[in-house]
């Protein structure tokens, strides 16, 4: 678990630097929530500091955060009647077992009952009620004295101004922002030109201290304790004697909010087994809770057990925080992709600098809709707080605005549908391609007709839109059964253009299998992969019949991709059948199919030892060669696109590649060849001019 690793400090200088950095971060964290470190980074630093101090006890600096509430950085001038402490941590079931054993050793008997409750991820506050009236709100501060933040009264849900009973007591608990309150807070802030909060905890920290803001931001209080104050009278004795669980019930009865009404309500457990079940249940709920938790707090429930366990300077000995792995990390927003869904919804997706969160690498995050980007004032290059828990889709909480450098760039929104090029309906929060469900159809037909696929001249984007809108085409196989009259009926389609288009479609019927296969648009099978597949299997029948294992015989297809291709092809079976029925070519010229498993094919038996492994006939001019093309082609090759050059190379038995390396056998270098030529020269790779190459592959050119 990453949460458990520490920064390794090699010497006194790096120790001192670490203390300084941690102190600076903690001061910012507790004051405004604007630390430069995420919690995971801070915790690793703090653990590194503690480890160094353990090894070098005589070098401990006075300013060290170790063993201090709030790392020693928070202050206050309102004394606490009873110290307001932090909690010690465990990170695993084993550490927890060790901890319980130490508590039970200390008290000399088994703990009677445990309370298992969520560790709410906000800020601790003490709330003083006098004769039932809410009087004062105080932060934890350094544990002995906190800051008066009573100005926040009225903005915190869960803290009634008046209790059900006119009692005098101090309620302790956590102030946080729910996800909903966090979103509302950031909307209010950005609307007022203020930078958004990076995450709900920072939002709560910043808001609790802020005065005189032109907007109101709401937070929520959860009580997890109560104690007597001077003037509590008989209540004092009751509160010191009640089990923790009863105290929670009591304050809830007074009208103060607790976690009792949430999916992670506090529970009591009598056995280690029950504690574990409670921990697991709360951890499992984490991803779907409407507020943040960063662990589970386990407390000895009975007052007598607590008293006997005692209290340390930083934390009580009768309670522990079972920390869950960090689910938030700071990383960089590199870009925004715009994807079009099945119904034409155009959804932005954040491309992130990959970051490890909760055991997985996160490279993308959801952004919902364009308004969401604007509302949260996200910019390219921003450092962002990314949240990922359980199976949920990672999301960006907000930019970490105080880490901006000024080099961040605005995010550009698309002006037309990124898939089919049609107009975008921006009337709703979620943008939509005006073609709706037909968007995919327009895009897939345009793709199939494209130069590197079926190469149907005269069938550009607007023509495809016309055909789709007229209902003549529901997939690209329908192109092959278009009638002359249908085309003539379309706007701006004269006799000549109609006949030209029909002729182009006729030609498309005879394209090699590699082109037809590519036109299907199977994910991960672009031009060169399609050529490899077509050459390997030679016929569409064989491709369609291939299982994942057979597909993996093709260069560049791994297990995962093979499975994807198989399942997509299964879905495409009706389209393939339609193409076959329309008389579209389904074979790859010059390719011979692989041998059936177990069978020795005749030609191979005849050819004997020398037969190429893939069943490829011998004696092709580029056999075994890897060829790269660069620069402008001339002479016989002038008209060929790069894709057509690559097809030519593969027809002639070679392998096409786009980059020059030691493995390159030949570079075809045309005019204006640049860095590839230089590299080939450096590596001593053979170089051929277009004319020379045309001669080498002469018979395959036609
Ligand atoms: N990012 C930074 O720069 C930075 C700096 C300093 C501290 N931190 C983070 O703060 C944490 C340490 O801070 P800490 O000492 O304030 O507290 P803590 O979060 O480790 O645990 C103690 C606190 O838990 C809270 N709590 C929540 N639910 C509770 C419950 N049911 N019962 C009792 N207490 C409950 C209380 O506020 C209590 O004070 C670390 O995890 C660290 O990552 C981050
Ligand atoms: Zn579209």
**Would you say 396 and 336 are in contact if contact means Cβ atoms under 8 Å apart?**
no
**Would you say 234 and 168 are in contact if contact means Cβ atoms under 8 Å apart?**
no
Instruction: Label each residue of 584-634 as H, E or C.
Output: CCCECCCCCCCCCCCCCCHHHHHHHHHCCCCCCCCCCCCCCCEEEEECECC
Would the pLDDT of 603 be above 70?
Answer: no
CATH no. for residue 529?
1.10.150.20
Q: Is 496 domain-assigned?
A: yes
**Would you say 201 and 176 are in contact if contact means Cβ atoms under 8 Å apart?**
yes
Domain hosting residue 336, numbered range:
328-410
* pLDDT, tens digit (0-9, with 9 covering 90-100), for 415-467: 999 988 899 999 989 999 998 888 989 989 999 999 999 999 999 888 999 99
Helix (H) or strand (E) holding 253: helix 244-253
Would the pLDDT of 135 be above 90?
Answer: yes
Residue 388, judged by CB atoms within 10 A of its CB (0-12, 13-18, 19+), counts as: buried
DSSP, collapsed to helix, strand or coil, labels residue 123 as strand
Shared domain for 247 and 161, answered yes or no, is yes
**Would you say 383 and 403 are in contact if contact means Cβ atoms under 8 Å apart?**
yes
Shared domain for 184 and 277, answered yes or no, is yes
Phi-psi category of residue 262: left, alpha or beta, with phi > 0 → left and psi -120 to 50 → alpha: beta
Q: Is 479 annotated as a binding residue?
A: no
- Confidence class of residue 490 from pLDDT cuts 50, 70 and 90? very high
Tell me the H-state helices in 5-62.
Answer: 12-31, 39-55
pLDDT for the residue 33 = 80
| Residue that is written with structure tokens 């308004």 in the block | 371
Q: Phi and psi (nearest 5°) for 625?
A: -100, 145
Shared domain for 165 and 304, answered yes or no, is yes
Judge if the beta carbon of residue 442 lies within 6 A of ligand 1.
no
Shared domain for 292 and 179, answered yes or no, is yes
Q: How far apart are CA 541 and CA 587, in angstroms?
A: 9
Q: Give the mean model confidence (pLDDT) for residues 661-689.
A: 90
Would the pLDDT of 702 be above 80?
Answer: no
- Among 290, 323, 356, identify where a domain stops: 323
Distance 677 CA to ligand 2 centre (A): 40
Cβ of 7: how many Cβ atoms within 10 Å?
18
* pLDDT, tens digit (0-9, with 9 covering 90-100), for 203-217: 999 999 888 888 999
Judge if the beta carbon of residue 73 lies within 6 A of ligand 1.
no
pLDDT for the residue 576 = 95
Residue nearest to atom 37 of ligand 1 (CA): 124
Shared domain for 290 and 347, answered yes or no, is no
Q: Is 431 domain-assigned?
A: no
Q: Is 289 domain-assigned?
A: yes
Q: Give the mean model confidence (pLDDT) for residues 603-608.
A: 44
pLDDT for the residue 353 = 97
Q: Which two tokens stand for residue 215?
A: 């907007």
- Confidence class of residue 650 from pLDDT cuts 50, 70 and 90? confident
Q: Is 281 annotated as a binding residue?
A: no
Characterize 641-660 residue by residue with b for buried, 16 or more Cβ atoms within 10 angstroms of its Cβ, and e for exposed. Answer: eebbbbbbbbbbbbbbbeeb
Q: Which two tokens stand for residue 193?
A: 């030109």
Q: Give the mean model confidence (pLDDT) for residues 120-125.
A: 96
**Percent of the chain surpassing pLDDT 70:** 96
Q: Is 88 domain-assigned?
A: yes
Judge if the beta carbon of residue 174 lies within 6 A of ligand 1.
yes
Q: Is 568 annotated as a binding residue?
A: no
pLDDT for the residue 435 = 87
Judge if the beta carbon of residue 125 lies within 6 A of ligand 1.
no
Q: Which two tokens stand for residue 672?
A: 């204006």
Would the pLDDT of 612 be above 50?
Answer: no
Measured between alpha carbons, how far apart are the two ends of the chain, in Å? Answer: 61
Specify the number of domains making up the chain: 6
| Among 198, 209, 181, 174, residue whose Cα is nearest residue 32 | 209
Ligand closest to 31 (CA) is: 1
pLDDT for the residue 605 = 45
pLDDT for the residue 673 = 85
337 beta partners: 349
Q: How far apart are CA 69 and CA 62, in angstroms?
A: 14
Q: How far apart are CA 294 and CA 122, in angstroms?
A: 9
Would the pLDDT of 196 be above 70?
Answer: yes
Judge if the beta carbon of residue 175 lies within 6 A of ligand 1.
no
Shared domain for 297 and 344, answered yes or no, is no
Ligand closest to 74 (CA) is: 1
Q: Is 423 domain-assigned?
A: no
- Confidence class of residue 609 from pLDDT cuts 50, 70 and 90? very low
Active-site annotation, residues: 119
Judge if the beta carbon of residue 26 lies within 6 A of ligand 1.
yes
Q: Is 656 annotated as a binding residue?
A: no
Length of the chain counted residue by residue: 702
Q: Is 429 domain-assigned?
A: no
The gap from C-alpha 210 to its chain's centroid, in whole angstroms, comes to 32
Shared domain for 528 and 491, answered yes or no, is no
CATH no. for residue 24?
1.10.287
Shared domain for 585 and 646, answered yes or no, is no
Q: Phi and psi (nearest 5°) for 601?
A: -80, 150
Ligand closest to 123 (CA) is: 1
- Confidence class of residue 392 from pLDDT cuts 50, 70 and 90? confident
Q: Is 417 annotated as a binding residue?
A: yes
Q: Phi and psi (nearest 5°) for 70?
A: 55, 30
Would the pLDDT of 1 be above 70?
Answer: no
* ipTM over the 0.95 cut-off: yes
Shared domain for 140 and 176, answered yes or no, is yes
Would the pLDDT of 617 be above 70?
Answer: no
Shared domain for 605 and 531, answered yes or no, is yes
pTM for this model (two decimals): 0.72
- Among 323, 355, 390, identify where a domain stops: 323
Would the pLDDT of 63 be above 70?
Answer: yes
Residue nearest to atom 16 of ligand 1 (CA): 70
Q: How far apart are CA 106 and CA 446, in angstroms?
A: 76
Shared domain for 90 and 202, answered yes or no, is yes
- Confidence class of residue 615 from pLDDT cuts 50, 70 and 90? very low
Mean pLDDT of the chain, nearest integer: 91
* pLDDT, tens digit (0-9, with 9 covering 90-100), for 217-275: 999 999 999 999 999 999 999 999 999 999 999 999 999 999 999 999 999 999 989 99
Nearest atom within ligand 1 for CA of residue 73: 6
| Residue that is written with structure tokens 């495409």 in the block | 572
Q: Is 428 domain-assigned?
A: no
Q: Is 84 domain-assigned?
A: yes
Residue nearest to atom 29 of ligand 1 (CA): 119
Nearest atom within ligand 1 for CA of residue 314: 15
Shared domain for 456 and 402, answered yes or no, is no
Of the listed ranges 470-479, 542-551, 601-610, the one predicted with least confidence: 601-610
CATH no. for residue 101?
3.30.470.30
Q: What is the DSSP string of 649-671?
A: HHHTT-EEESS--TT--EEEE-B
Would the pLDDT of 666 be above 60?
Answer: yes
- Among 271, 293, 323, identify where a domain stops: 323
CATH no. for residue 648?
3.40.50.10190
Q: Give the mean model confidence (pLDDT) for residues 581-593.
A: 91
């Amino acid at each position: 678990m990453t949460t458990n690793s520490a920064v390794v400090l090699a010497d006194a200088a790096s120790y001192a630097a670490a203390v300084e950095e941690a102190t600076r971060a903690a001061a910012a964290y507790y004051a405004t929530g604007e630390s430069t470190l995420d919690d995971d980074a801070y915790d690793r630093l703090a653990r590194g500091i503690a480890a160094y101090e353990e090894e070098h006890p005589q070098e401990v600096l006075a300013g060290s955060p170790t063993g201090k509430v709030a790392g020693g950085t928070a202050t206050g001038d309102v004394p606490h009647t009873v110290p307001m402490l932090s909690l010690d941590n465990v990170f695993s079931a084993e550490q927890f077992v060790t901890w319980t054993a130490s508590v039970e050793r200390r008290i000399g008997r088994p703990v009677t009952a445990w309370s298992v409750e969520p560790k709410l991820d906000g800020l601790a506050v003490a709330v003083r009620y006098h004769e039932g009236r809410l009087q004062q709100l105080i932060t934890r501060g350094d544990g002995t004295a906190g800051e008066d933040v009573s100005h926040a009264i009225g903005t915190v849900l869960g803290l009634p101004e008046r209790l059900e009973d006119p009692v005098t007591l101090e309620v302790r608990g956590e102030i946080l922002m729910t996800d909903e309150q966090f979103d509302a807070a950031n909307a209010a802030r950005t609307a007022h030109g203020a930078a958004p909060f990076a995450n709900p905890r920072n939002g709560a920290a910043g808001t609790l201290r802020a005065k005189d803001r032109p907007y109101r931001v709401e937070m929520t209080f959860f009580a997890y304790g109560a104690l007597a104050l001077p003037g509590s009278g008989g209540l004092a004795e009751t509160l010191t004697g009640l089990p923790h669980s009863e105290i929670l019930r009591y304050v809830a009865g007074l009208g103060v909010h607790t976690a009792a009404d949430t999916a992670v309500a506090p529970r009591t457990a009598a056995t280690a087994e029950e504690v574990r079940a409670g921990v697991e249940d709360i951890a499992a709920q984490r991803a779907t809770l409407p507020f943040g938790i960063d662990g589970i707090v386990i407390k000895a429930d009975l007052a007598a057990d607590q008293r006997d366990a005692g209290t340390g300077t930083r934390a009580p000995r009768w309670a522990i925080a079972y920390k869950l792995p960090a689910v938030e990390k700071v990383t960089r927003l590199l870009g925004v992709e715009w994807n079009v869904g099945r119904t034409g919804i155009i959804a932005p997706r954040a491309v992130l600098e990959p970051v490890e969160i909760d055991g997985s690498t996160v490279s993308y995050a959801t952004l919902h809709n364009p308004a969401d980007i604007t509302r949260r004032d996200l910019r390219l290059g921003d450092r962002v707080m990314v949240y990922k828990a359980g199976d949920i889709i990672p999301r960006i909480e907000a930019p970490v605005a105080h880490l901006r450098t000024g080099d961040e760039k605005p995010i550009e929104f698309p002006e037309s549908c990124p898939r089919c090029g049609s107009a975008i309906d921006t009337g709703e929060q979620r943008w939509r391609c005006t073609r709706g469900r037909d968007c995919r159809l327009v895009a897939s037909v345009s793709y199939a007709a494209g130069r590197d696929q079926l190469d149907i001249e005269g069938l550009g984007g607007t023509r495809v839109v016309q055909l789709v809108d007229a209902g003549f085409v529901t997939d690209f196989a329908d192109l092959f059964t278009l009638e002359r009259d249908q085309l003539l009926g379309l706007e701006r389609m004269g006799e000549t253009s109609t006949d030209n288009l029909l002729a182009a479609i006729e030609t498309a019927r005879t394209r090699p299998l590699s082109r037809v296969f590519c036109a299907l648009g199977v994910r991960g099978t672009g031009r060169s992969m399609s050529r490899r597949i077509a050459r390997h299997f030679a016929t569409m029948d064989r491709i369609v019949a291939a299982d994942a294992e057979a597909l993996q015989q093709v260069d560049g297809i791994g297990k995962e991709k093979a499975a994807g291709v198989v399942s997509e092809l299964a879905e495409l079976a009706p389209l393939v059948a339609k193409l076959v029925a329309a008389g579209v070519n389904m074979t790859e010229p010059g390719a011979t199919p692989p041998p059936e498993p177990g069978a020795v094919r005749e030609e191979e038996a005849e050819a004997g030892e020398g037969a190429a492994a893939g069943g490829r006939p011998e004696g092709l001019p580029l056999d075994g060669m890897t060829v790269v093309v660069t620069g402008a082609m001339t002479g016989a090759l002038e008209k060929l696109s790069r894709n057509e050059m690559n097809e030519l190379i593969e027809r002639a038995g070679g392998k096409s590649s786009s980059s020059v390396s030691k493995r390159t056998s030949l570079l075809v270098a045309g005019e204006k060849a640049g860095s590839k030529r230089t590299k080939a020269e450096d590596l001593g790779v053979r170089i051929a001019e277009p004319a020379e190459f045309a001669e080498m592959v002469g018979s395959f050119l036609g």
